Amino acid sequence: MDRFPASDLWTEEHCGNLPHAISSKDMTILSNPAPTRIRVIDLETAGSACHNVCEIGWQDVVREINGRWEVNEERGAQFVNPGGPISTQTMAIHHIVDADVAGAPFWKDVAPQVLRPTGDVVALAAHRATFEQRFCSPRLSGGARWICTWKCALRTWPALPSFSNQGLRYERMPNGLDRATGLPAHRAMPDAYVTAHHLRDMLNASSLEQLLTWSEQPGLLPRVPSGPDRKRPWAELGDDALAGYARDRDVDIRFSAETEQRRRGNYNAIPAKAEVQSLLL
């Protein structure tokens, strides 16, 4: 919104026309822009093709004037015509059937309205955001940066046993999360609503820029996820075992092992920054 020209602000003429004196509270409101907003996204799909989204849900998280992040009332969901039948396997997960989406608009028409809302957003967010990013291309999202709440949960709450969206919900029991609004699970709006509460608490513990940085890196797993060393912290592994994981095909396992190698002082084991970046592309 445009403000008064600087030359006209608070001149005697303007002040004389004001119905009451300007309080310090009024000055604070006038000097602060609209709350900073992040939109949490969740998608339900009909299968695996790049055009087969069948539902998108969203929930906004905003930074208030006092600097705290909060989950607000801006949320919703929209059915999307996936351009083909929904598989029975995915129906069994989200319970969306072909009749639900038969008259819905197509993804290319729905996505820009949700991903680039009026008033703009500073970032988009999702749990395991790489999935949503497959469908929310830069062309549709306006090139928005993404926060992955799964990657940020690994850093923020590494001692938790599970980092799934619903696992975090019940491990943490976030304040203010309304149980009914967060159900049913595996539907787009309820899942986005739950994710937004994790994001809110992450933002109140770390900076926005920190979350964006973590999200642009591979996931830093606190423990070995599978195999003979499953559930063991990386620090407990011997150098030879760690070196084996540093050659793993999974980028998150490789990155986590390499991070532990670096903690031990083995800087030669860490790929150059450009090489790490190439792993993300």
- CATH number of domain containing 92: 3.30.420.10
Count CB-CB contacts under 10 A for residue 35: 15
- H or E, element range at 74: strand 69-79
Q: Is residue 228 part of a domain?
A: no
Sign of the torsion formed by the C-alpha atoms of 267, 271, 274 and 280: negative
Same domain, 109 and 187: yes
Q: What pLDDT score does 261 carry?
A: 96
Same domain, 209 and 258: no
- Report the distance separating Cα 71 and Cα 192, nearest Å: 11
Counted domains in the chain: 2
Same domain, 116 and 253: no
- Report the distance separating Cα 262 and Cα 114, nearest Å: 41
Same domain, 252 and 162: no
- Report the distance separating Cα 164 and Cα 132, nearest Å: 15
Q: Is residue 23 part of a domain?
A: no
Same domain, 183 and 261: no
Residue 141 is part of which domain span?
Answer: 36-215
Q: Is residue 211 part of a domain?
A: yes
Per-residue CA distances from 252 to 209, 220, 247 (Å): 21, 6, 11
Same domain, 257 and 148: no
- Report the distance separating Cα 39 and Cα 207, nearest Å: 16
251 phi and psi angles, rounded to 5 deg: -65, -35
Q: What is the pLDDT along the chain (281 residues), one digit of tens a residue?
A: 443 343 333 333 443 444 444 444 444 444 555 569 999 999 999 986 656 999 999 999 999 999 999 999 999 999 999 999 999 999 999 999 999 999 999 999 999 999 999 999 999 999 999 999 999 999 999 999 999 999 999 999 999 999 999 999 999 999 999 999 999 999 999 999 999 999 999 999 999 999 999 999 999 999 999 999 999 999 999 999 999 999 999 999 999 999 999 999 987 665 544 344 444 44
Same domain, 245 and 126: no
Q: What pLDDT score does 72 carry?
A: 97
Q: Is residue 172 part of a domain?
A: yes
Q: What pLDDT score does 9 carry?
A: 37
| CB contact at 8 A, 258 and 268 | no
Class of residue 83 by CB neighbours under 10 A (exposed 0-12, middle 13-18, buried 19+): middle
Q: What pLDDT score does 177 carry?
A: 98
Q: What pLDDT score does 33 carry?
A: 53
Same domain, 40 and 158: yes
Sign of the torsion formed by the C-alpha atoms of 251, 252, 256 and 259: positive
How far is C-alpha 254 from the geometric centre of its chain's CA atoms? 23
Same domain, 48 and 110: yes
pTM over 0.85: no
Same domain, 145 and 203: yes
Bridge partners of residue 148, in order along the sequence: 126
Q: Is residue 26 part of a domain?
A: no
Same domain, 129 and 264: no
